Structure 1
Amino acid sequence: MKTADIFKNKTVFSLEIFPPRPDTDESVIYDTLDHLTDISPDFISVTYGAGGGKNGSRTIKIASDIQNRYGVESVAHLPCIGLTKEQARVILDSMSDNGIENILALRGDLPEGSTPAGDFRHASDLISFIKENYSFNILAACYPEIHPESRNAVDDLHWLKHKVDCGADHLITQLFLDNSYFCDFREKALLAGVDVPIEAGIMPVTNKRQIERMVKLCGVDLPKRFIRVLEKYEHDPNALRDAGIAYAIDQITDLIALGVDGIHLYTMNDPYVAHRIFDAVHNMLAVRSLVS
């Protein structure tokens, strides 16, 4: 099933996982999936994984197994930076041969100090290529606090609309910790003509190192309320984990009440955290689905 079709009748709840590193026992991810699929998510996305392009085959295998072994819809991530069109065709053909219908088309991180070779400079280039040559449902990323490389919010929305015009069927946001950014972004995106489902990406922040990395990589604003939580529990890992879960639950319940199209939970491969959050919000998701 194409993920864009799921939004027609319900508030979507989906999960993201990452493959194990190439030097790690593959069975670990299936132990994780055994527990995550108990939630019965609407779909599970699989990142291109630690280890970069060489780990792409694991992404395809896991995404295929999610569908064929677990009976859950899957999405395979595909970063395009450094890829030639010929290489992209090989990957896309493999995804198609494995029954994958949904692809999250991404640019990927630029290597430091060099300009990568390849035929794709932006995610929109990959989206256009897929749309012209395949029948995949295409997901794309968006940024409530604007992409770090955008000049301003207007520029960012211009390029987001371009992604949709190129063929993106469904958007997932970068993580954010202040729902006001998402609400403002969603309103402006609609005014800009972005008319596809926008799913809110939520990452439960459960340790201090994760927070520091998130701020460095994504430029995410830390609300005062969140900073107070961090300062209070930073030296108590279990308390900080529980506080991070509670913060994510508050975010999600507020977003559902505001009529969000869907919630995409960045699980960090932690079924315990995912279950705690789903158990807290699933009744509200069900009510929203009944009245949609």
Structure 2
Amino acid sequence: MKTADIFKTKTVFSLEIFPPKPDADESVIYNTLDQLTDISPDFISVTYGAGGGKNGAKTIQIASDIKNKYHVESIAHMPCINLTKDQAASILDNMVAHGIENVLALRGDIPEGTVSPGDFTHADDLITFIQDNYDLNILAACYPEVHPESMGAVDDLKWLRHKVDCGADHLISQLFLDNEYFFSFLEKARIAGINVPIEAGIMPVTNKKQIERMVKMCGVELPKKFIRVLERYEDNDIALRDAGIAYAVDQITDLIAEGVDGIHLYTMNNPYIAHKIYDAVQNLVAAKANAC
């Protein structure tokens, strides 16, 4: 099933996982999936893989297993910055052979001080390539607080509209901690003519290092409410984990109440946290589904 079709009948609740590192025990990810699929998510996306490069093959295999063994729809992430068109075609052919119908087209990170040897400069190049050559549901990323490399909000929306015009069927947002950024972004996106489903990406922040990495990589603003939580619990790992879960639940409750298309939970491969959040919001998701 193509994920864009799921939004026609319900508020979507989906999950993201990442593959194990090349030298890690692969059984761990399947133990994680055994627990995550108990939630019955609408789909699970699989990142390109810790370590990147050749580890991308694990992304395809895990996405295939999610769909064919766990009977949950899956999405395979695909960064394109270092790919030639022939390499991209080989990856996409492999996805199709494994029964994968959904691909998240990403540029990927450019290694500092290097120039990409590939044929794709931005995600829209890959989206166009997929649209022209494959019958796949194409997803793309969006940034409620503006892409860190963008010239500004207007420029960011212009290029997001371009990605949709090139063939993106469904958008998933970068994480954010202040819902007002998402609501403002969503309003502007609709005015700009971006009418595909837009899922809110939620990452439950459960440790201080994670917060520091997130701020550095994504430019996410920490709201005063969240800073107070961090200051109160930063020296107590369990308390901070529980406070992070509660904060994410509050975000999701507010988003669903405002009619968001869907929630995409960045699980960090932690079934305990995913279950706690889903258990707290499942009645709201069900109520929206029944209303549809």
TM range (shorter): over 0.9
- Structure-2 separation of matches of 1:122 and 1:22: 27
1:65 maps to which residue? 65
Task: Map Cα deviations across residues 214-250 of structure 1 (whole Å, 9 max, x no partner).
Answer: 0000000000000000000000000000000000000
Shift of 1:54: 1.0
1:210 maps to which residue? 210
2:230 maps to which residue? 230
Task: Map Cα deviations across residues 37-65 of structure 1 (whole Å, 9 max, x no partner).
Answer: 00000000000011112101100000000
Is residue 163 from structure 1 mapped to residue 158 from structure 2 by the alignment? no
Is residue 290 from structure 1 mapped to residue 290 from structure 2 by the alignment? yes
1:192 maps to which residue? 192
Say how many residue pairs are matched: 292
**Tell me, which stretches of 5 or more residues in structure 2 are unaligned?**
none
Taking structure 2 as the reference length, the TM-score comes to 1.00
Is residue 146 from structure 1 mapped to residue 118 from structure 2 by the alignment? no
Shift of 1:192: 0.2
- Structure-2 separation of matches of 1:25 and 1:189: 42
Shift of 1:116: 1.3
- Structure-2 separation of matches of 1:116 and 1:236: 43
Percentage identity across paired residues of the two chains? 75
Q: Which letter maps to 1:146?
A: V
Taking structure 1 as the reference length, the TM-score comes to 1.00
**Partner secondary structure for residue 213 of structure 2:** helix
**Partner secondary structure for residue 200 of structure 2:** strand
Q: Which letter maps to 2:215?
A: V
Q: Which letter maps to 1:105?
A: A
Shift of 1:289: 1.0
**Partner secondary structure for residue 121 of structure 1:** coil
Q: How does 1:216-255 map to 2 (within 5 A)?
A: 216-255=216-255
Q: Which letter maps to 1:149?
A: E
- Structure-1 separation of matches of 2:100 and 2:115: 31
Shift of 1:14: 0.1
Structure 1 segments, 4+ long, off by >2 Å, are: none
1:46 maps to which residue? 46
- Structure-2 separation of matches of 1:128 and 1:53: 22
Root mean square deviation of aligned Cα: 0.4
- Structure-1 separation of matches of 2:209 and 2:179: 22
- Structure-2 separation of matches of 1:289 and 1:2: 18
Q: Which letter maps to 2:169?
A: D
**Tell me, which stretches of 5 or more residues in structure 1 are unaligned?**
none
Which shifted more, 241-250 or 49-58? 49-58
